[in-house]
């Protein structure tokens, strides 16, 4: 009967109740949907960051990060391989590369790029390049002249697949090495910047050009679960001497990305606060209005022998019902939106220029984190009840004496 009483009371002014419920629905919906969108963006940034040649973990010669030149290569790949086989989980993939700065030029243009010498087969399982070819073909092992460039670089150089491209870099003898390659394919990446930055040749071609025997610049490792990056890195550190090698996780390799993600988390938090403040004011206001309208009634309830605390509980029960209904609808709506957009994603093309700067794809797939959902719901219900305490306490104080004075 308490429930019935509360239920009938909230529908006495159905318009007002509907308005506050809609506010709660929008609040909850936006909290869940926005955080799903942000998480989707975060996930996308991490995925892009990792697949753009970073991997979950990288191994370099210890001076390479500060001075990424060909002299700072790792010269005993066999030793590395045994360490990797020992530490990595069986489903992990890894690839060795040579990576140097170079100048690419043709008759009309020149540009500074990063030349990456790869083992085509393992590389395809580690970075994006394996399935990013949009024109021509991918590198075959042992190809000594073929080069793959980004579509954007191709356009910038006003050239075509099949044409020549000359690369220059410093070799192991500190001399300028130069070699001409033939463009055999182009790749598409999420970001234009990636397409302009990287050019791929086979590791054998790169070694020949740079006069390197069997050295490599880096090993990039992909783990089945991103969360394993830290423990695996620790495992590798015990196997490989810190005097020779530097082992870094993606968080260390992409500090800016990491900072972005922290900012995103901050955004979500701030949004939760904003939504809540707006909603909280709405709840306090409407509940206060509802309570003042029924001043006589609360006086009557007191006269009937209700303890002040029972009256508080009554008002809170009414708020609780409104909150719960609003939350259920808000959750359903949010999940519906996420579900509807899970397939097609959210197209950010309109903002692509700005988004690209941050390393975000054009299309974002919202990702629901159950923690976010739980937190938004708890925030709404707990704080909703807390702010209802004020009008409830007011209601508990009305006496028929006062109530009659207000007529």
Partner 1 sequence: MGIVECKDIKKTYQQGKIEVHALKDVSLSIDKGGFAALAGPSGSGKTTLLNIIGGLDQPDSGSVSVAGNTFEKMTQSQLALLRLHNVGFIFQSYNLIPVLSAVENVEFVMLLQGVQATQRRERAMAILDDVGLEGKYHRRPAELSGGQQQRVAVARAIVSNPSIVLADEPTANLDSKTGNGLLEMMRKMNEEKKVTFIFSTHDKMVMDYARRLVLIRDGRIVDDKIK
Ligand X SMILES: Nc1ncnc2c1ncn2[C@@H]1O[C@H](COP(=O)(O)OP(=O)(O)OP(=O)(O)O)[C@@H](O)[C@H]1O
- Nearest CA-CA partner of 187 in 177, 179, 196: 196
Helices (H) and strands (E) in the chain, counts: 15, 12
Structure tokens at 258: 């990491």
- Nearest CA-CA partner of 146 in 175, 113, 118: 118
Residues at the interface with partner 1 (CB under 8 A): 1-2, 4-5, 8-9, 12, 296-297, 300-310, 399-401, 404
Comparing CB distances to ligand X, the nearer of 39 and 302 is: 302
In the complex, the smallest distance separating the C-beta of residue 283 from partner 1, rounded to whole angstroms, is: 21
- Nearest CA-CA partner of 370 in 359, 358, 362, 378: 378
- Tell me if 254 sits within 8 A of 45, measured CB to CB: no
**405: contact with ligand X by CB under 6 A:** yes
Question: What single DSSP character describes residue 51?
Answer: I
Beta bridge partners of 146: 182
In the complex, the smallest distance separating the C-beta of residue 48 from partner 1, rounded to whole angstroms, is: 58
Residues 72-91 vs ligand X: string with x where CB under 6 A? --------------------
Beta bridge partners of 248: 58
Comparing CB distances to partner 1, the nearer of 8 and 75 is: 8
Q: Among positive and negative, which fits the CA dihedral 53, 54, 55, 61? A: positive
- Tell me which of ligand X, partner 1, none is bound by residue 12, counting a contact when its beta carbon lies within the kind-specific cut-off of 5 to 8 angstroms: partner 1
In the complex, the smallest distance separating the C-beta of residue 398 from ligand X, rounded to whole angstroms, is: 12
- Tell me which of partner 1, ligand X, none is bound by residue 307, counting a contact when its beta carbon lies within the kind-specific cut-off of 5 to 8 angstroms: partner 1
At residue 286, what are phi and psi to the nearest 5 degrees?
-70, -40
Comparing CB distances to partner 1, the nearer of 265 and 297 is: 297
Comparing CB distances to ligand X, the nearer of 273 and 401 is: 401
Residues 344-383 vs ligand X: string with x where CB under 6 A? ----------------------------------------
In the complex, the smallest distance separating the C-beta of residue 401 from partner 1, rounded to whole angstroms, is: 5
In the complex, the smallest distance separating the C-beta of residue 292 from partner 1, rounded to whole angstroms, is: 15
Comparing CB distances to partner 1, the nearer of 35 and 287 is: 287
- Tell me if 93 sits within 8 A of 221, measured CB to CB: yes
**Helix ranges (DSSP H) in 165-307:** 192-197, 203-210, 229-239, 250-253, 255-293, 295-304
Number of residues that bind ligand X (CB under 6 A): 2
Comparing CB distances to ligand X, the nearer of 150 and 299 is: 299
- Tell me which of partner 1, ligand X, none is bound by residue 386, counting a contact when its beta carbon lies within the kind-specific cut-off of 5 to 8 angstroms: none
Comparing CB distances to partner 1, the nearer of 56 and 286 is: 286
Q: Among positive and negative, which fits the CA dihedral 153, 155, 158, 164? A: positive
CA distance 263 to 269: 10
CA distance 130 to 123: 7
Comparing CB distances to ligand X, the nearer of 338 and 403 is: 403
End-to-end Cα separation, the chain, in angstroms: 29
In the complex, the smallest distance separating the C-beta of residue 290 from partner 1, rounded to whole angstroms, is: 12
- Nearest CA-CA partner of 117 in 199, 62, 55: 199
Comparing CB distances to ligand X, the nearer of 163 and 397 is: 397
Pairing state between β 218-222 and 198-202:
unpaired
Beta bridge partners of 219: 59, 96
- Nearest CA-CA partner of 391 in 298, 303, 327: 298
In the complex, the smallest distance separating the C-beta of residue 392 from partner 1, rounded to whole angstroms, is: 15
In the complex, the smallest distance separating the C-beta of residue 361 from partner 1, rounded to whole angstroms, is: 54
CA distance 108 to 354: 30
Place of tokens 């530490």: 87
- Tell me which of ligand X, partner 1, none is bound by residue 2, counting a contact when its beta carbon lies within the kind-specific cut-off of 5 to 8 angstroms: partner 1
In the complex, the smallest distance separating the C-beta of residue 402 from ligand X, rounded to whole angstroms, is: 7
CA distance 129 to 186: 10
**401: contact with ligand X by CB under 6 A:** yes
In the complex, the smallest distance separating the C-beta of residue 388 from partner 1, rounded to whole angstroms, is: 19
Residues 151-190 vs ligand X: string with x where CB under 6 A? ----------------------------------------
- Tell me which of ligand X, partner 1, none is bound by residue 77, counting a contact when its beta carbon lies within the kind-specific cut-off of 5 to 8 angstroms: none
What residues make contact with ligand X under the rule CB under 6 A? 401, 405
């Amino acid at each position: 009967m308490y429930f019935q009483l509360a239920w009938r009371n909230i529908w006495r002014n159905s318009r007002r109740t509907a308005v506050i419920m809609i506010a709660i629905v929008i609040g909850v919906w936006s909290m869940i949907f926005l955080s799903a969108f942000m998480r989707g963006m975060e996930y996308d940034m991490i995925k892009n960051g990792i697949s753009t040649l970073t991997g979950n973990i990288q191994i370099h010669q210890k001076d390479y990060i500060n001075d990424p030149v060909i002299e700072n290569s790792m010269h005993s790949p066999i030793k590395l391989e045994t360490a990797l086989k020992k530490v990595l989980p069986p489903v992990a993939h890894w690839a060795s590369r040579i990576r140097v700065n170079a100048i690419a030029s043709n008759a009309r243009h020149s540009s500074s790029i990063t030349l990456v010498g790869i083992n085509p087969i393992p590389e395809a399982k580690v970075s994006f390049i394996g399935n990013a070819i949009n024109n021509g073909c991918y590198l075959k092992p042992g190809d000594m002249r073929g080069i793959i460039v980004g579509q954007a670089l191709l356009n910038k150089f006003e050239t075509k697949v099949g044409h020549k491209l000359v690369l220059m870099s410093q070799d192991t003898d500190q001399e300028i090495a130069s070699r001409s390659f033939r463009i055999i394919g182009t790749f598409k990446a999420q970001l234009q910047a990636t397409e302009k930055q990287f050019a791929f040749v086979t590791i054998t071609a790169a070694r020949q050009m740079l006069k390197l025997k069997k050295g490599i610049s880096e090993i990039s490792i992909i783990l089945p679960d991103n969360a394993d990056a830290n423990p695996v890195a620790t495992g590798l550190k015990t196997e490989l001497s810190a005097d020779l090698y530097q082992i870094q996780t993606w968080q260390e390799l992409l500090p800016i990305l990491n900072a972005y993600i922290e900012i995103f988390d901050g955004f979500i938090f701030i949004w939760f606060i904003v939504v809540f403040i707006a909603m909280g004011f709405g709840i306090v206001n409407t509940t206060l209005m509802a309570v003042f309208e029924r001043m006589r009634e609360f006086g009557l309830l007191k006269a009937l022998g209700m303890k002040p605390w029972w009256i508080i509980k009554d008002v809170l029960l009414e708020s609780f019902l409104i909150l719960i209904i609003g939350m259920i609808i808000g959750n359903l709506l949010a999940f519906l939106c996420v579900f509807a957009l899970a397939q097609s994603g959210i197209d950010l093309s309109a903002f692509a220029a700005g988004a690209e700067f941050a390393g975000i794809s054009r299309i974002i797939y919202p990702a629901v984190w159950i923690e976010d959902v739980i937190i938004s719901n708890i925030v709404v219900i707990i704080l909703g009840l807390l702010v209802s305490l004020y009008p409830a306490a007011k209601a508990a104080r009305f006496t028929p004496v006062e109530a009659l004075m207000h007529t």
